[in-house]
Structure 1
Amino acid sequence: MSDHSFVTSLSWTGSTGTGYDVYAREHELAMAGDVVRASSAAAFLGDPFRPNPEQLLVAAASSCQLLSFLAVAARARLDVVDYRDEAVGHLLEGDRPMWVARIVLRPHITLGEPAPRAKVERLIEVAHRECFIAASLRSEIAIEPVLVGVAD
């Protein structure tokens, strides 16, 4: 059995000595040579024009579902020609600690050749079970697909 590691690095400079309301939330994340400037969410005094950890979590779940679905579709000889997702994560503020309790994935999947709806829906479920990120989270992940090119 192999063990896989996924390395990122993070850097921040500033001073929290100025108080909670004014210290800089912007920081840099480096992954595989790319640098992303991130911040906390606007609700937590961050820069609304930079990605925040909650968005990165939702993006990871969305990306993993895409990659898992493409893999199972290819193995099943299903011709997927387009896949888009508008995903959203829901952070609950009532309980402490706060957490992203629910992630809704809304993949819009277009097939090049018609396939039975039941087959495509089953492959979406298989992909969800095979998604490493989904398996790593305690968040509920709901998938609400829109399918184009299926045979009913």
Structure 2
Amino acid sequence: MTTHTYASTLQWSGRTDDYDGYSRRHDLTLSGTAVAVSADPAFRGDGALPNPEQLLVAAASSCQLLSFLAVAALAGVQVLEYRDEAEGVMPDDQRPLRLTTIVLRPRIVVQGTTVERVERLLHKAHQQCYIANSLTTDVALEPVIEVR
């Protein structure tokens, strides 16, 4: 049995003696690449920086893409383009506060196949996506498929 592990490093420094005034900015390092991250502006963060909620939505989107490309390649389907405008929803009135839904909206251009076949492959990839499988959040697909 193989066990995969994934590491990240997070670093923050500052003072929290004033709840409204302390910096929410921190540095996240993944595979040697540092990314400055903050809280969402609604939580007193810096809107110019990515936040953990965006990172979670991006992880779900990326996982779906990679799963789909693998499934499509194994099925002999030629994928020419894939663009996803994913969105996560976190209502203020539900507790515990959490992303309740992530909607993935891939626009996919393929060649030499049918829309129905691509939809089946998308569903198969969605079932195999380890990020979506790891979440209690509903991850939905709303694809637009173009066959050339």
1:132-143 correspondence to structure 2 within 5 Å: 132-143=130-141
Q: State the superposition RMSD in angstroms.
A: 0.8
Does the Cα contact within 8 Å between 2:28 and 2:37 map onto a contact in 1?
A: yes
Q: What secondary structure is seen at the aligned counterpart in 1 of 2:100?
A: strand
Amino acid at match of 2:57: V
Q: What secondary structure is seen at the aligned counterpart in 2 of 1:148?
A: strand
* Cα distance in 2 between the residues matched to 1:7 and 1:141: 24
* Cross-structure match for 1:149: 147
1:84-99 correspondence to structure 2 within 5 Å: 84-99=83-98
Q: CA deviation at 1:20?
A: 1.2
1:66-95 CA distance string (max 9 Å, x none): 000000000000000110100000012112
1:27-72 CA distance string (max 9 Å, x none): 0000001000000001101000100000000000000000000000
Does the Cα contact within 8 Å between 2:114 and 2:147 map onto a contact in 1?
A: no
1:120-139 correspondence to structure 2 within 5 Å: 120-139=118-137
Runs of 4 or more above 6 Å deviation = none
* Number of residues of Structure 1 aligned to a counterpart in Structure 2: 148
Amino acid at match of 1:126: K
> Normalization by structure 2: what TM-score?
0.98
Q: CA deviation at 1:148?
A: 1.0
Q: Which runs of 5+ in 1 are unaligned?
A: none
Pick the structure with more strand per residue: 1
* Cα distance in 2 between the residues matched to 1:95 and 1:73: 38
Q: Does residue 7 of structure 2 align to residue 24 of structure 1?
A: no
Q: Does residue 21 of structure 2 align to residue 7 of structure 1?
A: no
Q: Does residue 56 of structure 2 align to residue 49 of structure 1?
A: no
